[in-house]
A = this chain, B = another copy of it.
Amino acid sequence: MNARQLFQQIKRKKSFLCVGLDTDLEKIPPHLLEKDDPVFEFNRYVVEATAEFAVAFKPNLAFYESLGPDGWRSLRKTVKFIRRNYPGIFLIADAKRGDIGNTSEKYARTFFDYKAAGLDFDAVTLSPYMGQDSVVPFLAFPGKWLVVLALTSNPGANDFQNARLETGEYVFEKVIKTCASWTTTDRLMFVVGATRANSLVKIRQWVPDHFLLVPGVGAQGGSLAEVAEYGMNRECGLLVNSSRAIIYADHSPDFAAFVRVKAIEIQQEMEKLLTKKGIL
């Protein structure tokens, strides 16, 4: 899927919502724990309830890895389920990987090459700390996207990302400008936390056309309206992620109905923002 196709999905669904599948056995509705594969069951309900209102899903790998081989099996089933039933969905592996050359190539295969680990994500999140040769090996897979951490939503972002270089640039600024020189807007997004709305103005000057993946709306306190005001471009250019606020909206056996309502609420706010911008 290229940027244009992603934008078509956004217009079709009137939404730039990414649903984060941070599926935690300690937080899912307890009746699901009796199932054979509670993680997959939960994901299936969430996907069925929200796919109409979302353009992307983003499983965070930590939640699957922490269950060992079973967790990887649940992840694989989830990805297959989405691919089979919801064509046009953009699938992001939130893995925050980053390693050098030959090792990066293995990570790329893990997430992009179905024949390797049974997964065929559209995109993977990457940490830029190790530089170019930790990022570009992921480009060997045609049509796949890199989503590079730039300015994250957590307080720790101030430790290094927000440090200022002798050139006057911030570290995250250098990350954005440097990574943007390695490939096109059809292969690269940046992660910018919703709690950093004031930085979005500057970021849009540096990368007016790139998609930004924006976590931190809702549970972490970021404002969707501000993110849209400062970050939206003429082709939307935003995927806003919500995890906990949607998927843990309720814990009863009827939780999926509440999940759906929550997704609709966010989609409707997004529709207004897209209309305001003249995109719809």
Q: Mark A98-140, 1 if CB is under 8 A from B, else 0.
A: 1111011011011000001111000000011111111100000
A225 touches B (CB below 8 Å): no
Contact B67 A117 (CB under 8 A): yes
- A67-109 contacts to B, CB under 8 A, are 67-73, 76, 96-101, 103-104, 106-107, 109
Contact A62 B129 (CB under 8 A): no
Question: How many whole Å from A162's CB to the nearest CB in chain B?
Answer: 9
Query: Which B residues lie within 8 Å of A60 (CB)?
Result: 99, 103
Q: Please tell me which stretch of A38-46, A163-171, A256-264 contacts chain B, meaning at least 4 of its Cβ atoms lie within 8 angstroms of it.
A: A163-171
Number of copies: 2
Contact B159 A131 (CB under 8 A): yes
Contact B116 A67 (CB under 8 A): yes
Determine which residue in A67, A154, A157 has the highest number of CB atoms from chain B within 10 A of its CB, and name it. Answer: A154
Contact A161 B98 (CB under 8 A): no
Query: Which B residues lie within 8 Å of A149 (CB)?
Result: 129-130
Contact of A129 among B71, B104, B133, B160 (CB under 8 A): B160
Interface size classification for chain A: 35 or more
Contact A154 B128 (CB under 8 A): no
**A174 touching B156 in the complex, CB below 8 Å, given contacts A66-B106, A66-B107, A110-B62:** no
Output the nearest chain B residue to A73 by Cβ-Cβ distance.
Answer: B69
Q: Compute how far the CA of A109 lies from the CA of B24 in the bound complex, rounded to whole angstroms.
A: 13
Contact of A154 among B109, B130, B154 (CB under 8 A): B130
Contact A106 B171 (CB under 8 A): no
Contact of A72 among B68, B104, B165 (CB under 8 A): B68
Output the nearest chain B residue to A215 by Cβ-Cβ distance.
Answer: B100
Q: Compute how far the CA of A158 lies from the CA of B100 in the bound complex, rounded to whole angstroms.
A: 13
Question: How many whole Å from A53's CB to the nearest CB in chain B?
Answer: 24
Contact B165 A117 (CB under 8 A): no
A175 touches B (CB below 8 Å): yes
Query: Which B residues lie within 8 Å of A68 (CB)?
Result: 72, 76, 110, 116-119
Contact B106 A133 (CB under 8 A): no
Contact B127 A156 (CB under 8 A): no
A178 touches B (CB below 8 Å): yes
**A-B contact list, 18 entries, CB within 8 Å:** A60-B103, A66-B117, A69-B70, A96-B99, A100-B152, A100-B153, A100-B156, A101-B154, A131-B154, A131-B161, A132-B155, A132-B156, A134-B154, A134-B156, A159-B178, A160-B171, A160-B174, A163-B174
